[in-house]
Amino acid sequence: MRMSGNLINRVMESSKSPTPVIGMGVTECCHSDRHAYTILEIFSPCKITIQRDTAIRTDKNGMSDAQSYRYERNAAGETKVLTKRRDGAWREVGAGKGSNGFLLGHRDEHYDYSF
C-alpha cells in the first residue's frame, strides 16, 4: 500500500472491491482528491473500461471538506482501462504499483482545497 496522500483514499483503494457490473460506480483515489466514474465495459473479471462522470456540487460549503455531489453520466467523459492486480488493487493499464488506485462499487468525488 502506498503511504503518501490522504489516509481515507489509501484505505478506500485497498478495500476489497465487488465483482464489476456495467453501470456500477467507481472512485479513483488520487493523492488527496477522488473522482467519480462508471463502468462501461467488462472484458473479463479482471479488466474493465470506465468513464468519467460529471460531478455536480450540491452543497453551499465553498472550499470545505464537507462536500456533497450528484452524479450524471458523461458520454464525452475520459475513459480508462483498468486491470485487477495480483494484490487485488484496480489500476489503470500500464500504471505502476504507486499509481492511483480505483475502488469499485462506490462513486465519490472530493476536492482537497488544502493544497
Which pTM value belongs to this model? 0.83
Residue 16 has pLDDT above 80, yes or no: no
Tens digits of residue pLDDT in 71-111: 999 999 999 999 999 988 999 999 988 889 999 999 999 99
Q: Which one, of 61, 54, 48, 56, lies nearest residue 21 by Cα?
A: 48
C-alpha cell at 53: 462522470
The three grid cell numbers given for residue 3, joined into one nine-digit string:
503511504
